[in-house]
Chains A and B, each alone.
Chain A
């Protein structure tokens, strides 16, 4: 009874928030509804006894992906209203095509037949649920029987990373980069100058000008700024 209630609550909120993801006008609201949808989906997983998947959904999708979305939406200046104009123009014809496709597929799925041995085959790779927790069961399948697929997915992700770098990373000329070797090889004589300062006198050549130097500027630039200041005076 309570399970059924919980199911309908999670499922109801999930569907409602999923609708809001695509219906909300403000993209930030969309992302927030997406997070709500993820949480409710995790609740459904827990009801099914798949606690590991539920936790992964919360950690990976809410913790990483949705927050990343939020950053992207907030930082990129995308005019979503403009993007949606095309959507509304193509909605009637697109909706019609989708409806026809749906009806046709329902005709096919209505006559759906499952091979008599399918149920047994589907169960075959799964370890006995009573014998181990589902985290252990997933690990056993993923790292032994499906190790090949696991590694192959890793290669696909590597290609995605290389692709993103190849297509977008540019070496801009004139940017300053940190060079650890130069920093380490620097000696005190190159940076510091020791002077004896007489009491009551500055170190500037001109009296009254204090060359503190602005932080982050090289000595030559600092000197230049100092002279500019002096000229302003």
Chain B
């Protein structure tokens, strides 16, 4: 028999940012529907405002780990940290898309609203403390993303990207659900803390086969969402086909949320099965790093290249998870924050690649950019150096923290493979710089929209100057990682 649930005992105020975001998204939807002319621009800026208020609400929630809604929802430092990253990614994603949507005649107010709802799903994922809330958050996020992948519905490539993403995403959800049902069948509960409790009491050296199966299925479903090898097949096609600002958002927001969820699930309910999932993570991360490094070399389309690059980056981030320590989680969080900044900056540059009224996506189109637009070439060069992991840019520190965590956990081989993969990966990042600085001009791009210039300048400055004052991010990530492993 459960204790009686009262309104106060739901602790709903812990979910205040989510509740606010949900209500605001619905208000903006009604606002958009009642307007005569298309209000995409107004709704977009209002959405950015809503995201800023939500971030302020998240920041205002202090305190230790606390649960709400009878254990379905958990709020701790880790959740707050990841939520802030997701909100930042969504805000930048909306800002970058405004002028693109107008140019490409895709200007519809549902776009920012769907991004808000996807963000809501991501925040629910990060705060999930139960297999059911995990699944609902994940579905809310994925469903919104399927729609915006196909947002350019008159473009065959965009529709194909949406359909592909939908079919494969549904398959991944099925795997995840099947795994969840196996875990529930063994433990008799869906609550993370209770599952961990049951698993601790089971024989740790030789856990029952059914639970291991469940764990593998859950990990497969989550790997799909972070696009780690061998569940990465959809990534290049979806990234190439979707409208570019959608790709920019895909490469940061959902990935950060899914990595956050991955960390929470592995360090939470499955913590007693560390020995089982550690091998899995090592395999996935080596595969992703290798594929990201080698498959990107032959690409000529910059969006496809970024897709493989993001697969590789997920490999590096998962090294931290494979280490299985609070230090590893710290490394992952720092890595994801830096990845967010560099990736948004790179995509802002890609969104500026417009010639004769249409977008160009070839790497050759960047030729001679150093002479036609030296500032943008400099920014893109900074992002590429940073992604390759060249000190003293931010990307170097991201890699440093995960590799250090792996070494401290005694995983020398993993760290060495990571370093080798990043050396190979540096080749194609440096090739872009070579094309920009040393190849014959391919002609100037159209003038940059002001919002994109601001995003490029901001992210470029953060990437370059991170080493001057890294303390705020590193300390905050450390505190966040500690709450995940602290209990």
Contacts and interface: CB of A to CB of B under 8 A. Distances in A.
Interface stretch (B181-189, B240-248, B401-409, B469-477): B181-189
A124 B187 CA distance: 13
A120 to B, nearest CB: 7
Given A145-B70, A149-B72, A117 B198 contact: yes
Given A117-B198, A163-B143, A145 B185 contact: no
B105 interface: no
Contact of B114 (A111, A120, A122, A162): A162
B207 to A, nearest CB: 9
Interface in A152-172: 152-153, 155-156, 158-160, 162-163, 165-167
Contacts of B46: none
Interface in B1-24: 1-2, 5, 10, 15, 22
A144 B10 CA distance: 8
Contacts of A4: none
A128 interface: yes
Contact of A128 (B1, B29, B188, B210): B1
A159 B136 contact: no
A100 interface: no
Contacts of A119: 188
Given A115-B198, A115-B201, A152 B133 contact: yes
Interface residues of B, number: 48
Interface stretch (B144-152, B225-233, B419-427): B144-152
A115 B120 CA distance: 35
B210 A109 contact: yes
A114 B186 contact: yes
Interface in A106-149: 108-109, 111-115, 117-122, 124-125, 127-128, 144-149
A121 B114 contact: no
B143 A160 contact: yes
B398 to A, nearest CB: 32
Nearest to A116: B201
B189 A159 contact: no
Interface in A194-233: none
Contacts of B1: 127-128
B150 A167 contact: yes
B143 A124 contact: no
Binding site secondary structure of chain A: helix
B188 A113 contact: no
Contact of B2 (A113, A127, A166): A127
Nearest to A112: B210
Given A158-B26, A166-B147, A152 B124 contact: yes
Contacts of A111: 208-210
B147 A115 contact: no
A115 B214 CA distance: 14
B150 to A, nearest CB: 6
B247 to A, nearest CB: 18
B129 to A, nearest CB: 10
Given A115-B201, A117-B198, A118-B188, A159 B147 contact: yes
Interface string B140-182: 1001101100110100000000100000000000000000000
B209 A108 contact: yes
- Which 4 A-B residue pairings sit nearest by Cβ, starting from the closest? A118-B188, A163-B147, A148-B69, A121-B188
Interface of B: 1-2, 5, 10, 15, 22, 26, 29, 68-70, 72-73, 108, 110, 113-114, 117, 120-121, 124, 132-133, 136-137, 139-140, 143-144, 146-147, 150-151, 153, 162, 185-189, 194, 198, 201-202, 208-210, 213
Given A113-B210, A160-B143, 7 more contacts: A111-B210, A114-B188, A115-B198, A124-B189, A145-B70, A146-B132, A148-B69
